[in-house]
Amino acid sequence: MSGELPALLAVTFRAVMDHVHTRLAAEGFGDVRPAHGFVFQYLSFHPEATAVELGEHLGVTKQAAVQLVDELARRGYVERRPHPTDRRSRVVALTARGWACVERVTALWRETERRWAELIGEDRLGALREDLTALAADAAGGRPVPLRPLW
């Protein structure tokens, strides 16, 4: 059958993330919503981001971004500190708990990949990764793909 690949991508991703969320919940990280994942993702690569930056990356208003940050701060995943030079601004950083959660997600993803390697073999998995990288790059057409709300 042809034309079903996009759906297959979605279904696979969905199944993985359902599993990850179940595991996270069992390990005490049950209070993270899908949208939070994108905050974590961004903060782990931009450790001193501001709320406005975060909003731009997530494609939401600054007000919504601040609300997300407040919620995560209340739950102990992030911390707001005064900006070193700009007194209007405050930087958002992951706390130890925030980092721990990020670590768990990446560990679970690696675990998933190991499982997949067993299923289809290292070679096929390598080809899969390589091909998907090419397809994603082509589909994105040079634009950055924001990795936004999906899970």
Of 48-56, 65-73, 92-100, 136-144: span binding its own copies (CB under 8 A): 136-144
84 contributes a contact to its own copies by CB under 8 A: no
In the complex, least distance from residue 108 CB atom to its own copies, rounded to whole angstroms: 9
Which residue in the set 17, 64, 100, 102 belongs to the binding site for its own copies (CB under 8 A)? 17
Q: Which residue has the tokens 């993702």?
A: 41
The sign of the dihedral angle between the CA atoms of 99, 100, 106, 107 is positive
Return the amino acid letter for 80: R
CB of 23 or CB of 80, closer to its own copies: 23
Q: How many residues bind DNA (CB under 7 A)?
A: 25
In sequence order, what are the residues at sequence separation of 6 or more whose Cβ sits closer than 8 angstroms to the Cβ of residue 53? 46
User: What are phi and psi for residue 146, nearest 5 degrees?
Assistant: -70, -10
In the complex, least distance from residue 93 CB atom to DNA, rounded to whole angstroms: 12
- Give which of 119, 50, 55, 124 is closest to 81, Cα–Cα: 50
142 contributes a contact to its own copies by CB under 8 A: no
Asked whether 92 and 69 are in contact (CB, 8 A), the reply is yes
In sequence order, what are the residues at sequence separation of 6 or more whose Cβ sits closer than 8 angstroms to the Cβ of residue 125? 113, 116, 117
Contact residues: its own copies, CB under 8 A? 2-20, 106-107, 109-110, 112-113, 115-116, 119-120, 124-125, 127-129, 131-136, 138-141, 145-148, 150-151
Contact residues: DNA, CB under 7 A? 33, 35, 50-53, 59-64, 66-68, 71, 83, 85-91, 149
